[in-house]
Amino acid sequence: MIVVTFVLVLLVALGLGIYSRRGAGKTTADFLVGGRKFGGILLFILVVGEVYSIGTVIGFPGGVYAEGAGFAIWFMGYILLGYPIGYFLLPLLWKVGRKHNAMTLPDIFRGHFNSRALELAAALVSVVFLIPWAQLQLTGLTVALNGLGLGFTPLVTVLVGVSIALIFVMLSGIRAPAYVSYVKDFALIFAIVVVAVFVLGQNTSIPKIMADANVGSAHTTIAAGRPMIHTVSTMLFQAVGFFMFPFVIQAILSSKSAKTVRKTQIGMPIYMLMYPFLMITAYFAISAVPGLKGPDTNLAFIEVARRLLPDWLVGVVAGGAALCAIVVLAASSLVIGTLVSRNVLTGVKEEKQKSLVRVIIAIYLAVSIVLTLVFPNLMGALINTSYYGITQLAVAVVLLIAGSRVRPSNIAAGLLAGAATAVGIYLSGADLGGLNIGVPSLAVNVAIVVIGRLVWPAKQASEAVWVRKKHRLTAQFSAVALDAADPKSSQPVPVSDNVLTHEV
């Protein structure tokens, strides 16, 4: 029974994936960014579908089980702060993305800065740091499938999950995850709420769960010093990187207007009201499923489900959880293929691009599968690892939005140095007193950009995406005035060009 309901959830999703193929166009743009026609509701579902992955359903309770309130707070906090940032940032990114007909962030960099170096650096950092993200999905997928109690080996489990994800991508590109997201979002909320309801249906109460959660070690407070430093630094650092995630950028670029993109952010935090339900299950697991250690803490949620729910319902919950992983895995795979084919292996013909995308996805998944099986990790740690690198892109994005005299190659150097610093600190296992290792890495990134700006500035400032209104109204006058004031300006820039510069 448990398998029947599990398979049923996946079949419904697969059916929708196939159904969504109808109406999908044949160009690469259709395949990758849904032909840029997504309205507000579909965009909301798509973004939500990719933000709340198996890291939420399985990873969050596991992290709270292992690390307590500090984990819960950074996890919820960075997502919450991500939306207000997106409210302002995303319309601007949409605008510049549309202007350059971009499908990825490196596309935007290439179009805006006309820099192959920056494009390549950004693509490289994105691809490398999306590997832990796939590991995160695969780890969760293993947990969900293990919840069925079929006794599959981890290898078989992972391969089954990957096959389903591949089928979705092959069928219709981003549209499959988008439509499947409808089923997935429902399944996610259902899984979370139903398990919480069963927990509360036990002979227990919130006060008892809270009291039991603190037996042994404190799980409901964040101690001053190291744990607090870790929580706050991770929360703020990851909020900055939240919308740098390549698949979120791709979802944004698939939207039909800047206004839609901004308006869509308003409802996003409401969706987070599922977290109180997850907290109940997470805290309950501490006393109900004692003794989980290391990567096994990932099992907290599914173990509670197995102990409290009837078999058929465990199947539905595990199916919903698996679907979350599959949707994000599909979206990540797709974006990896896009990044490599468009931004790394350039000069590939349109017809060849599609098949090349598929080969690269297979390589990406293979690497992730090996890492998942060889280095099992706490899911929260995998999220952190992805952000160490992905957040480094924020410096380039800020310079893109604001315009500056930093050379694009200098931005690329900062980006690579930041990412390399993160990897170096991570591998060295250095102790920073709780500070998220992305923070010093970001500092290195910024330092290189600042020093480069001072020592070796570009001759002209890059065009700003964010232009203040007063500039617009006085564009002609200020342009003339600037030229007059700048003795180095050998060639006066035509006024009409300046108007365009400030308008676009």
Partner 1 sequence: MNPNPKSMLIVLGIPLVALTAGVLFLGGSTATIFSVPVLFVFVFALFPITSALMAIAWRLYDRDADYEEDSATAPSEATK
Interacting residues toward partner 1 by CB under 8 A: 69-70, 72-73, 76-77, 80-81, 83-85, 87-88, 91-92, 95, 99, 205-207, 210, 220-224, 228, 231-232, 235-236, 257-259, 262-263, 265-270, 272-273, 275-276, 279, 466-469, 472-473, 475-476, 499-500, 502-504
SS3 217: coil
Residue 72 half-sphere exposure toward CB, CA atoms < 13 A = 21
Kindly report the backbone phi and psi dihedral angles of residue 38, in degrees, each rounded to the nearest multiple of 5, phi listed first.
-75, 130
Cβ 299 vs Cβ 149: under 8 Å? no
Closest distance to partner 1 from the beta carbon of 22 (Å): 31
Kindly report the backbone phi and psi dihedral angles of residue 116, in degrees, each rounded to the nearest multiple of 5, phi listed first.
-70, -35
- For partner 1, the closer of residues 101 and 355 by Cβ is 101
Closest distance to partner 1 from the beta carbon of 200 (Å): 13
Closest distance to partner 1 from the beta carbon of 327 (Å): 23
- For partner 1, the closer of residues 88 and 456 by Cβ is 88
**Measured between alpha carbons, how far is residue 353 from residues 108, 328, 346, 381 in Å?**
19, 22, 9, 34
Cβ 252 vs Cβ 28: under 8 Å? no
Cβ 182 vs Cβ 28: under 8 Å? no
- For partner 1, the closer of residues 68 and 132 by Cβ is 68
- For partner 1, the closer of residues 391 and 421 by Cβ is 391
Amino acid occupying residue 74: W
Closest distance to partner 1 from the beta carbon of 320 (Å): 22
- For partner 1, the closer of residues 94 and 133 by Cβ is 94
Pull the structure tokens for residue 478: 């200020």
- For partner 1, the closer of residues 224 and 427 by Cβ is 224
Closest distance to partner 1 from the beta carbon of 20 (Å): 28
Closest distance to partner 1 from the beta carbon of 11 (Å): 33
For 226-261, what is the HEC assignment? HHHHHHHHHHHHHHHHHHHCHHHHHHHHCECCHHHH
d(CA 56, CA 324): 9
- For partner 1, the closer of residues 160 and 236 by Cβ is 236
**Measured between alpha carbons, how far is residue 162 from residues 33, 259, 326, 327 in Å?**
22, 36, 8, 11
Closest distance to partner 1 from the beta carbon of 50 (Å): 19
